Amino acid sequence: MGVSSSRWSLRRRPLKQRHLRVLSLSRKRRTRRSSKEEKEAKRRLVGAKEEMEMKNLRLYVENRSIMEANERLRQRALFLHRENRALLVQLQSKFTRPTS
C-alpha cells in the first residue's frame, strides 16, 4: 500500500490523522506572512490612517468655511429683506397720500 501525494492511498483509504495534522500545519505556514510583510502591511495601515485623518481635517476646515460663508449670506439676505420691506412701505405711503 503506497501513499500518493494526495490524501488517499492507492486503495482509497484515508491517511492517518497525524498526516492530516501535518498537512494542515504546512498549509498554515504557506499562508502566513513573513515578519517583513507584516511590518509593511502595518506601515501601509498607519499611512492610510494618517491619510484619512488629513482628508478628514481638510474636509472639516472646508465645511467650516462654507458654514461661515452661509451665515454671512444669511445675514446679508436678512438685511436686504428688511430694506426691501422698508422701501415697499415708503412706496405704498407715497401713493396712498394723495387719495386721502
- Render the chain in DSSP notation, one character per residue: --B-SSSBBTT-PBPPHHHHHHHHHHHHHHHSPPHHHHHHHHHHHHHHHHHHHHHHHHHHHHHHHHHHHHHHHHHHHHHHHHHHHHHHHHHHHHHHTTT-
Predicted structure pTM score: 0.49
Q: Is the pLDDT of residue 96 over 90?
A: no
pLDDT of residue 22: 53
List, for residues 47-77, the tens digit of each pLDDT value. Answer: 888 999 999 999 999 999 999 999 999 999 9
- What is the residue-averaged pLDDT of the chain? 79
Of 35-39, 76-80, 91-95, minimum mean pLDDT range? 35-39
Would you give the distance in Å from CA 34 to the centre of its chain? 29
Parse the chain into domains and list their residue ranges. Answer: 17-96
Confidence of residue 78 (pLDDT cuts 50, 70, 90): very high
Residue 14's pLDDT is 57
DSSP characters for 19-30? HHHHHHHHHHHH
Contact present, 1 and 9 (Cβ < 8 Å): yes
pLDDT at 10 over 70: no
Beta-ladder partners of 9: 3
Report the C-alpha gap between 63 and 66 in whole angstroms: 5
